[in-house]
A and B are shown apart, each in its own frame.
Chain A
């Protein structure tokens, strides 16, 4: 076992552990924090995969924005959490079963693809900076990926507006809300 493999195993274990704790924790803040651990682990894995930009973006977007957003949301909906019941709903066993089945299925699929089993990482062709520049250029190149890029931008805009609208407090009390 090489050093990279050991590093990979440790990071992988941490990520998985974080993930499992996210779905098991009763306390949502704890779950959010475990999520941050998972996300960080994924960022580390990106680094291992020599996708440096993505690692940074992962940290900035996921951990810096989404996880924080989640923590905000937890805090905004916190009042109810005090008397909540079990963390999982009554069908958790069916969910576990489904997850296990899918995992098993995926594993089977992987085993059937022999090329994957022995794949080794070939050395990267160019410098990391060239990679990043290439990525940048690819995103705005008319012949390449500008359309998805723009569409994603529009999506973000729509999401932004939509989130604002949806989360707006109601102007007057909605019918049925009185007395609640």
Chain B
């Protein structure tokens, strides 16, 4: 089958699954998850087929698989919607399909399929004692819709269709973060996520509009693969901060990335999004949705970097991007050190790693950014799913011991390597990949490439920031592993934890394989000075997406050594500090770091700051100004006034016209008749002689009249 046709079909099964589950199979859990997983499997299969065809095609960058339909007749021409598989979208499709499928399968076990429904569980609250999730089918419907959104975004060939997929994912993330809507914290988190990403989306929409008005099209090939268009956009000044039109558009689009990929300053929603079930965290906030932000940035690299050439100084836009990326990477890493909740650590870790990718885009390391995107998706999804398995085990222990401990607090765990071996091994592999453990983990290769690029092009500030962040990353990752799995169990609950079902552990294993092996496709050619003779497949493949194939870097020892050093150092220190953590003891870093630790723990107070600056005034505007003053006061007041006026008018009408005049007239007629009657009836005395007299008098008068006047 032609790849274009298959590409059209890829997003189709999940959306069909969504409608079928919602409309038809809502009541049957087994049928619902079977349809969802079946659909995802179908999409995965088609994605693999397309991917295989893509990588076996020469020069995919020049001749991508593309097809489009005329969709919307506009004033000048016709807006076309279509699909495009070029190298960038091919590899994105690859990791999206694998991670989504793994997460779908994982969800079956995570939501305790096969267990009895606990009669005390309510829909809207998480199951307390290991019973099946009451809203099981709904979950699968939502993640199917989510998969549809992401796949649409990946295969689209224009910015508008991408935006449609973007927004669908935004909706699903809202729905899934607040999946357990019975919890107040979940409800607040879902609104926070939606609103915060919305801020970014507004700027992105501005960028889309600006781009359309500047070029008259939104198709990738027509803008990004077209030298004339790029040159024209790069040359035209935009009037803002001295940036070219392309630069401004790129910046606006990048702001969408800042929202979606939780970069500073719009990072506040992602940690709260951990309120959702763990598969949601894995899917949306590790593997796919936040990656969509980076995908956008990478896709529009030609616009962002318009006016820049390899080795030259960075444009304004790129500087902003790089700054935000590097800053976020370090910023989030520091916060992660002081977190207790196992999922929070991973959340900040995600923010940090996305910062890496964004920084890479900012400094022009196009291929490195794409590479890290792929590898990060695998090992972060692995880590999240593993944390879900850990939490499940801990909850089982909590239920068994009837203890009231937080199952997600790492300081309540410990020694789980014995109780949950598969989870331990896979989690450790993921953690090492995240830290960039040399050679055998995918993270090493991608992270190293970013550092190498930064160093080679002389962006030392970025280099040092990222290196420091890598050190902290390794540290907190080892902290996490040590606290959770190593040592002795610190609570009774941890002692009674057990391994999870195969539907949860099998995806962990599959992702672990990728976490190890995915890096090997991107080994630089001149690694360690050796002439390996194997070309850097990833670089060649993905590099073809751009008009100008980016040159491969020459090998340099310094970034490599730095990378290895910070990784090893971080891992070692992390292990040393936490290996003897006792039950109930505070975090050993708390005392020495003092106020710094508190700042990290409190996330630098950004939530409080935004609350003060934005949330409270908006609440005031909505509650007091709009609702109380305008709506109730002015509008309702006006209505009540009109009503009161009408009532008064009606009453006046009634009292001064209806009653006196109309009623009065009617009553008058009756009253007059009565009075006349009463008056006249006095004639009826019943006394015959009176009748006679009267009759006589009248007839006499009549007679006289006739006789006298003789008419």
Residues of A near any B CB (own CB < 8 A)? 89, 91, 94-95, 98, 101-102, 105, 109
Contacts of B226 in A (CB 8 A): none
Contacts of B693 in A (CB 8 A): 91, 94-95, 98
> Is the CB–CB distance between B690 and A102 below 8 Å?
no
* B696 located at the interface, meaning its Cβ lies under 8 Å from any Cβ of chain A in the complex: yes
> Is the CB–CB distance between B700 and A101 below 8 Å?
yes
Within 8 A of A (CB), among B678-711: 687, 689-690, 693, 696-697, 700, 703-704, 707
Q: Which 10 A-B pairs have the closest CB atoms?
A: A98-B696, A94-B693, A98-B693, A101-B700, A98-B697, A95-B693, A102-B700, A91-B690, A89-B689, A105-B700
CA A109 to CA B704, docked complex, whole Å: 10
Residues of B near any A CB (own CB < 8 A)? 687, 689-690, 693, 696-697, 700, 703-704, 707
Report how many A-B pairs have Cβ atoms within 8 Å: 21
Contacts of A109 in B (CB 8 A): 707
**With A105-B703, A105-B704 in contact, is A91–B689 under 8 Å at CB?**
yes
Contacts of B687 in A (CB 8 A): 89
Could you name 10 residue pairs across A and B whose Cβ atoms are closer than 8 Å?
A89-B687, A89-B689, A91-B689, A91-B690, A94-B693, A94-B697, A98-B700, A101-B697, A101-B700, A102-B696
Q: How far is the CB of B33 from chain A (nearest CB, A)?
A: 98
Q: How far is the CB of A23 from chain B (nearest CB, A)?
A: 13
Contacts of B700 in A (CB 8 A): 98, 101-102, 105
CA A94 to CA B693, docked complex, whole Å: 7
Contacts of B707 in A (CB 8 A): 109
Q: How far is the CB of A84 from chain B (nearest CB, A)?
A: 16
Q: How far is the CB of A9 from chain B (nearest CB, A)?
A: 29
Q: Which residue on chain B has the smallest CB distance to residue A112? A: B707
Q: How far is the CB of B678 from chain A (nearest CB, A)?
A: 21
Contacts of B703 in A (CB 8 A): 105
Q: How far is the CB of A120 from chain B (nearest CB, A)?
A: 27
Contacts of A89 in B (CB 8 A): 687, 689
CA A152 to CA B422, docked complex, whole Å: 145
Q: How far is the CB of A99 from chain B (nearest CB, A)?
A: 9
Contacts of A105 in B (CB 8 A): 700, 703-704
CA A58 to CA B696, docked complex, whole Å: 28
CA A105 to CA B690, docked complex, whole Å: 21
Contacts of A98 in B (CB 8 A): 693, 696-697, 700
Q: Which residue on chain A has the smallest CB distance to residue B700? A: A101
CA A94 to CA B689, docked complex, whole Å: 10
Q: Which residue on chain B has the smallest CB distance to residue A95? A: B693
Q: Which residue on chain A has the smallest CB distance to residue B690? A: A91
> Is the CB–CB distance between A95 and B689 below 8 Å?
yes
Contacts of A94 in B (CB 8 A): 693, 697
Q: How far is the CB of B182 from chain A (nearest CB, A)?
A: 87
Contacts of A102 in B (CB 8 A): 696, 700
Q: How far is the CB of B247 from chain A (nearest CB, A)?
A: 120
CA A91 to CA B697, docked complex, whole Å: 13
Q: How far is the CB of A137 from chain B (nearest CB, A)?
A: 38
Contacts of B704 in A (CB 8 A): 105
Known A95-B689, A98-B696; further 9 A-B contacts with Cβ < 8 A: A89-B689, A91-B689, A94-B693, A95-B693, A98-B693, A98-B700, A102-B696, A105-B704, A109-B707
